[in-house]
Structure formats: C-alpha cells, structure tokens
Structure 1
C-alpha cells in the first residue's frame, strides 16, 4: 500500500486551481485541501492553522514575487514543494533555486505528477522510519583535490574511532580504487547490487560488500566492461541508496567530479556534501562554479554544503576568510598538508588512520567524523600514544 499524505494545492488563479484539483482527485489517493490566495500575501503557507506534508504551488505571471515569498520562509518551516508554472526556463530555475522538488507546466502530465507526489510520500515515510543512515557525499571541486582519500579516511574514522556501522560507496564506475587503500582485493559488486536493488534488502546487500577488519564495509565496482553514466538506471541507484541507508548508521559516498544524472541522485539525497578544494585561486574558482551548479540545477541549498580545504598551509597567501568570502559558505574545514605520509599510506594499502594515527591529517579527519556523527571518538591509538610517551618520561 502506497503511503498517503496531506497535500495543499495553492495559488492565485482560480481556474488553474480547479483544473489541478480535477487532475489530483482523479490521479492520486492523497488527502487534498485547496487554498485560493486572495489576501494579497504571496506566501501560500501564510497563517495556516496546520502545515501540510506537501505543497503544490501554482504560480502566475507574478511568479517572481510568489517564489520569493516562499523562499523567505526558512526551509525547515515549509514542506516539500512541487511548483506548477509557465513553460519558462527562468521560472523553473528560480523554483529549483528556492527548493522545489519538481516543476511542471500545463498541460499537466498527470502520470509524472502522481509519481512525483508518491516519491515525496515514500521519502517522508522513510524519514519517519526507525533507521535511516546519514548520507555524506564527497566530491572534488577540481580534479586531484584528494576527495577519495578524505572519503576513505572519514569512513574509516567513523567505523574505527566512533564505533558506528559505516558503508563506504565508491561511485567512480570507471576509475574507482578505494578498496586498494584498505589492501582489499578489487572484488566489488556495485553494478550487480544496483541491478538487483529492487529485490534486495540490507542483509542481502552485505554479500556485495568488501569487509575491512575495522568493521567498515566497502561497495565498489570491478567490472571489466566500461561503465558510463547512461548504463546506470537512476531509479535503481536511488533504490540501492535507500537499501544501504536502511542498514547502516553512516554512508559515505565518494563521487567522481561530474554533475550528471547518476551523481544527481546521490547529491540530492545527501544530508551533507563535502566539496573538496585546495588552496589556490583555480580551485576556488572551480568550487564557486560547482556550488552554483548544485544550487541552481539541483536545488541544493548552501547550508547542506561544507568546504574541505585539503593540504592546507597557513603560510600561503590565500587564507580561510578569502575562501569563505568567495564561496559564500561559512562551514569550512581545513585538513593540514602531509603529502608524503598520505602518499606512502596509499601506496602500501594501509589506511592513513592505521599508518599515521597521530598525524595532523588523521586528527583533522577524526574531528570531522566527530562533527558529522555528533559523537566523541574513542581514544584508540591516539590515547595509547599519549600513555606510552608519558611512561617513557617517568
């Protein structure tokens, strides 16, 4: 049985609302209420006694004013929204920028609207479920910034130091190599898991995972065939992400540097996006472009993004404030530069947290793991090192 939710249909144009009401009453089983906006306030949620679970907002020729009014309400205080408006790219872009989940124009595609509403209802049901892992997507703003090492070390920190059940997804279908960082065989089953996702549960998924001694589970691909984005069915990938999230506390997804439908599925689902840059003008310029793409085309607000400055060196001219100001994102994390230890760790196939547990890089990423999980790291090797040094002095 499909989940049912309370949907508010709102707008200024009475004839448009009447047409939409017919479509929604005949095409869905959701509980529908109607609001004809006549009070001069463009906000469709203004002064409502009870907030709906989903809003379908029909905008008019005054779409800019209407969408701006919706945007003035904080995201946390408005439900998932579908916007209906003219077939106009500027309106659609602004709708996505203010957080719309979908955009449709007349004549109304009844089937697509129904599917969109059902996806929202299923998402709300999943959010209300007992277990739904936090999903963190890690992506380079510029090639070679170090996102894969950060994703791997972050996942390892969450498993080994925080003690959470963690899955690391290597979503680079062509050049993924995360298993080698843990000295594990290139034997992943990601593509097979995606294909079988419709009939898979969390227990069956474990059979496709590589297991590290820390308890970390890794899912990547080693197919001998060339896999390109068009080979991956987005609906199946979304289903797989849902299955993974149902079985873990944290999911870390390492993405290649590209914005395509496959990456879009993961980025739109992510609770946090870590955008990895280095300390140069070129990296910051690319990061600014990436932030714009994520915000404009995927509707992801800046408060879901964090900037990770990898190989940070305080002696360089480009400082934290410069980067923060340029990208207009407050949440900025600096990972110190220790290239030789990181490179040696990768070459040996020994996770950085085991190879150099007391290095500034390891400590910084463990701190990031604490922030993401809201839990304190166990002392582990950090604490043991302090004890041994203390004993040596006595």
Structure 2
C-alpha cells in the first residue's frame, strides 16, 4: 500500500465533488483524486488506471446503474467504499451495501462524520485482518432491570479500548433496545435493514451497517421505525448474521432481552460465554435459578461457559453470597459493586465508565470481567450431543 492512501471521489455533481475535494485535502495523511463522471458513463471507475485505496461515491439519479457497474467490475472487488445518496430511499442504501459500501450518508453528508468514517477505513487498512472464528458473548438479565444492557455496553467498550481487539456490540432487544443511548450515538441503520439484505450480506457490508463509536467499538442497534418481531427472523437468517459477525470481528457481544424464544435461544446455544446478570434479592434469585435451569438443561450450554454476575453488590446485605451459592448451586460469582451515582451519570451522559471513571471500583470490577472474557474459551462441540441427550435424560 502507498505511503498516503489515495481517496477517489467520484460523481456527476461538480459542486458536490469540489466540496468533497476540499474536505479530504485537509488531512495531510490523505491524497485525493476527483473523478467527474460525464459523457453518459455510469461506471465510477471508468478511465481510472491506478486503483484507489478508498472510493467515495456521490450517487446520482442513475444510482442503480452506477452501483450495478461496480458490482460487475472485477477491479472493484474488495475496494472500500463510502456511498452518498438521496435521503428517504432505503433501496439506495440497501443496494449500496450490497455493492460493498462500508458506510452510507444522505445528502448533504455531515463533513465531520464523513471524514471520521474515511479515516477509520484508513486505520482498518493498516490493521491486521481478523482471521478465524471470533468469540460470542451473550448477556441477559436474570430479572428485568438487573443491568445487563449497561454491563454489555461497558464490557464491549473495555474489550475495545483496553484489550485492543475488534469488537461488535449487538442489541437484540427488538422492541425496546436502547444501547445507542448508553454510547451517545445517533444510529442510521438497524437490524431491520441488515435482515432485509441478509442474503447478500458479507463482512464488508456488515461493517457498513454498523454504527462507529469514537473508541473503535462497532454497534448494531435494534432501534428502527419499523416494528420487528422475534418470529419474523428465521433461524437461518440469524445464524447467517452470527456467522458473518464472527468471521469479521474478534469478539461479538450480544445484549439479549429477558425472554426465551427462537431468537434468544439460538444466540444462547451458540454463545461461548453466557452472562446472567442478577441482584441480591429473593425475586432475582428465583428468576436467575429458573434461567440457569433453562440454559443448562434445555439449551445445553456448558457449565464452564456460564458466568453469573451479581450486580449492585453490597457487603452488608441480608442475602449473603453463601445464600446465593446454596440457592443457585454454583461455586463462584463475578461481583460488581453498587455505585448508583456513577452508573446513572454514565447512562445519562452516554459516556462509558472507562472514559469517565477509569479508577473507580466499579470500573475496575467490570474491567476484570471484560479481561476474563477476552480470551477464547474451550470449544462447545459437545453441545449438540448434550442437547440431544437432554431430551432422554430425566429432568
């Protein structure tokens, strides 16, 4: 690769192209070439003899022909692309992602976000590619309101900034997911768009659907104007999304709603780590015990891959850790100390703990969990056999 990545800005609108040229000329680490598409040509790479490192394509009214030309041109395979198209047309974005766009903006593209997206791609080009199979961690509440979403968000963030690995955070609460609020992010794409194009999905397209946090963490949110129900997502499509995610990222953290259905059971069965979040209360013990039984017996998740996290732990509590061990029949817990003030401040500001309260006891406790989960666990190849046997063994 050249010392300075070459950005090719292609399109039909001269005014847009000139504005893009001025934007990309500012960073000294980039070199920019403007390609004005004219004379009826719809191929953004027509006449280009030197392959650029990144293509920024300003789509015109002939966007279908322009994207089709890219998909059929062999030279464009693997070329990172950012597409800019008209607002209010979901088909444009979907086709752009299918053509390999890593990000999509509508006119007028916010200059700061466009430049940040481009620089992130430059950074990715210099980073070693992820190979092999990533690790899947599922986080679920034992009782509603126990803090699973907050922990999933902060664990994923700490894996990114502390452990330095490529992490995707997914919100599988289809109706009420709110992970973007925990990271102060405005999300343009969601699970609805991903599943609508899942047959054409690959790693490059998946990254394009992701929201990018400044830390480097990628977020796939559930928030959408459309209502998406769990039974509308087939097991085949969900498994395809998980397969591509684990091929693209070193670690995938999934925030699950507290329910057992086809969606959550598929994720739990495939997870290398299952994190059950509970509190020190009688109702939480009852619910966590029931969920543990389902995960262990019915979904056949290996015991060594299940972690029970006691959130908002207080040393002086009517229910002791010994009581929890006796009730749940497990030997150890991961403890997160109670710190209501710092947690609420983090949620309300959208700033993760590791950025705002790096030295706090609660941050150090969550970091221990993140570091523990960062390594790849033992294989779960026994799961299929164990699950089959569970139907014949007495419950």
3-state SS in 2 of match to 1:314: coil
Question: 5 Å matches for 1:1-394?
Answer: 130-374=131-375
Query: 1:76-127, CA deviations, whole angstroms, 9 ceiling, x for partnerless residues?
Result: xxxxxxxxxxxxxxxxxxxxxxxxxxxxxxxxxxxxxxxxxxxxxxxxxxxx
Query: 1:343-368, CA deviations, whole angstroms, 9 ceiling, x for partnerless residues?
Result: 11111111122121111111111111
8 Å Cα contact 2:187-2:211 kept in structure 1: no
Name 2:59's counterpart in structure 1: none
8 Å Cα contact 1:140-1:276 kept in structure 2: yes
3-state SS in 2 of match to 1:207: helix
Task: Calculate the TM-score normalised by the size of structure 2.
Answer: 0.60
**Structure 1: distance between partners of 2:194 and 2:228:** 14
8 Å Cα contact 1:302-1:329 kept in structure 2: no
**Structure 1: distance between partners of 2:189 and 2:357:** 27
Question: Structure 1: 5+ residue runs without aligned partners?
Answer: 1-128, 376-394
Name 1:125's counterpart in structure 2: none
8 Å Cα contact 2:192-2:226 kept in structure 1: no
8 Å Cα contact 1:180-1:186 kept in structure 2: no
8 Å Cα contact 2:198-2:241 kept in structure 1: yes
8 Å Cα contact 2:168-2:251 kept in structure 1: yes
Question: Structure 2: 5+ residue runs without aligned partners?
Answer: 1-129, 377-395
Tell me by how many angstroms 1:301 deviates.
3.2
8 Å Cα contact 1:209-1:219 kept in structure 2: yes
8 Å Cα contact 1:305-1:329 kept in structure 2: no
**Structure 2: distance between partners of 1:261 and 1:374:** 28
Task: Calculate the TM-score normalised by the size of structure 1.
Answer: 0.61
Compare 348-357 and 252-261 and name the one that shifted more: 348-357
3-state SS in 2 of match to 1:157: helix
**Structure 2: distance between partners of 1:368 and 1:256:** 20
**Structure 2: distance between partners of 1:220 and 1:188:** 7
3-state SS in 2 of match to 1:188: coil
Tell me by how many angstroms 1:130 deviates.
4.6
- How many residues align? The count is 247
8 Å Cα contact 1:291-1:302 kept in structure 2: no
3-state SS in 1 of match to 2:358: coil
Tell me by how many angstroms 1:195 deviates.
3.0
Provide the alpha-carbon RMSD of the alignment.
Answer: 1.6
**Structure 1: distance between partners of 2:370 and 2:234:** 31
Tell me by how many angstroms 1:221 deviates.
2.2
**Structure 1: distance between partners of 2:189 and 2:286:** 35
Tell me by how many angstroms 1:331 deviates.
3.9
3-state SS in 1 of match to 2:287: helix
Query: 1:32-60, CA deviations, whole angstroms, 9 ceiling, x for partnerless residues?
Result: xxxxxxxxxxxxxxxxxxxxxxxxxxxxx
8 Å Cα contact 2:176-2:223 kept in structure 1: no
